[in-house]
Amino acid sequence: MVTGHSNRSCGLFVTGTDTGVGKTFVAACLAAILRSKGICVGVMKPVETGCGLSQGRRIPRDGLLLKRMAAAQDPIEQIVPYRLKAPLAPLVAARMEGIRIRPGRIEKAYERIRSSCSFMLVEGAGGVLVPVTDRLFMADLIARLALPALVVARAGLGTLNHTLLTVSFLQGRGIPVAGVILNDVDGKKDLSKKTNAALLRRLLPVPVLGQIPFRKGLSLQCSTRTGPWAHLAGRHVDFEALLRLAGAPR
């Protein structure tokens, strides 16, 4: 049993069917779009693993990208409360460093950021059943932060099962799902990429908001301008509908 906020927050928790499905890309696009609309957006990645070392500090590349795309003024220590070395599940990576992840610390950082912005954008790590602590899965963290979930899924073969399971699980936990975005992460020829979106629209009780094509040579970490991101995202995904569903200010 987990506790959470009494009221749903204005924002989204970007989760996925798996690791490597493009959650950071989608979250960064969302941050860029919100910023282009003049909306003050708060960003957060509660736990980031696989952080390299620079001048004695762990560098959370995803968290820094979100901060840059949102032009957020919050310190990176609040945006990414836990920055871990090993590219593993948060529970395992934290144990390897002798760190105990405390959900209360994450919630306090979240509240500090939320208090000074109009819309919260939080990116998870891995899928909804990735363990954060011995007693807390990523889905539990979504519930505690009281945000609707946006599910990012692969575009290709296998995504039907993964996406249906993820949405079903979240809804079974009482977590609202704002929608699903499919993302072509590998550019490989796959006939199912032409049929999955239409079939998921028939099978899912939530909207499939679009499918992002493979982006050859695009570097997330080298991007500094928000305009191209907002344009690219808007060409393939109905972000306007998503933001309406999430209650973004107009």
Parallel, antiparallel, or unpaired for β 52-54 and 57-59? antiparallel
Measure the CA–CA gap between 187 and 215, rounded to whole angstroms.
8
Is 45 labeled as catalytic in the residue annotation? yes
40, amino acid identity: C
Alpha-carbon span 165 to 127, nearest angstrom: 11
Catalytic member of 45, 108, 189, 216: 45
- 45 touches 66 (CB < 8 A): yes
- Determine which helix (DSSP H) or strand (DSSP E) holds 168, and give its type and residue range: helix 159-172
Q: Output the CA angle 149-153-155, nearest 5 degrees.
A: 150
Catalytic residue numbers? 45
